[in-house]
Amino acid sequence: RIRAMMSFLIPEKVLKAMTDAKSLENLVSHFEQTLYRNEFRELELLNSKTIERALLKNLVNTYEKILRMSPKEAIPVLNCISKEYEIMLIKDILAAKIESNINEKEVKERSFMLSDKIKVILPQIIESQDMEETIRSFDRTEYRNILKTGYESYLETSTIMPFIMAFFDHFYAVKQK
């Protein structure tokens, strides 16, 4: 299994060619010669965001394979890693809500990074009218207390930083266990 997964690694020669690429089209042409080709064939628009999204999608798929093959004692560590990606997207959504600049299409395109519990409440999060309503959307999730803590400080600053710090404090404490 490990040898099969290692075939997904990009050979050094191809990596060198990628770093020397003069355009996004040239870069993507190198990815199309690898096992990443499927993610890149699906791209409708070519820019740094869509390339990043394709790579993240591949990472999530690979991660899920690793999770299925891993011994049970490794699952808690792997789950912690997946939570970091989910939190990254939640922070991006909160930042967009604060700036009144939420892009529903982009959020939905990135929703493959979310757990099923968060996917269910995603429409409610997107449609919420203010930050208080957005935070209430998370009431039945594991993020409830973290976001409520961040919200208290958000009321004073109106910035994303209190939420970032609340997530940081929570995960620092979890990783110390």
- Mean confidence (pLDDT) of the chain: 86
- How big is the CA angle at 93 (ends 90 and 95), to the nearest 5 degrees? 110
How far apart are alpha carbons 67 and 80 in whole angstroms?
Answer: 12
pLDDT of residue 56: 81
Give pLDDT, residue 176: 63
Rounded Cα–Cα distance for residues 49 and 103 (Å): 13
pLDDT surpasses 70 at 174: no
Angle at which helices 161-176 and 144-157 cross, to 10°: 150
Residue-level pLDDT at 156: 93
What amino acid is encoded at 25 in this protein? E
Distances (CA, A) of 9 to 12, 21, 73, 94, 107: 9, 19, 26, 34, 28
3-class secondary structure, 100: coil
Would the pLDDT of 173 be above 80? no
Q: Tens digits of per-residue pLDDT, 132-142?
A: 999 999 999 99
The predicted pLDDT at position 77 comes to 81
Please compute the mean of the pLDDT values over residues 95-108 and round it to a whole number. 84
Lookup: tokens for 82: 């997946």
Q: What mean pLDDT is predicted for residues 42-59?
A: 84
Which of 47-56, 66-75, 105-114 bottoms out in mean pLDDT, i.e. has the lowest? Answer: 105-114
For residue 123, CA distances in Å to 12, 44, 94 come to 42, 24, 14
Provide the H-helix boundaries in the chain.
2-6, 12-19, 24-31, 37-41, 48-69, 75-98, 104-109, 116-127, 131-136, 144-157, 161-176
- Percentage of the chain surpassing pLDDT 70? 97
pLDDT tens, residue by residue, 4-46 = 777 778 888 989 999 999 999 999 899 888 888 888 887 888 8
Residue 74 is given by DSSP the state G
Nearest to 93 by CA among 78, 77, 111, 75: 111
Whether residue 68 has pLDDT greater than 90: no
Query: Which of 124 and 3 is assigned the larger pLDDT?
Result: 124
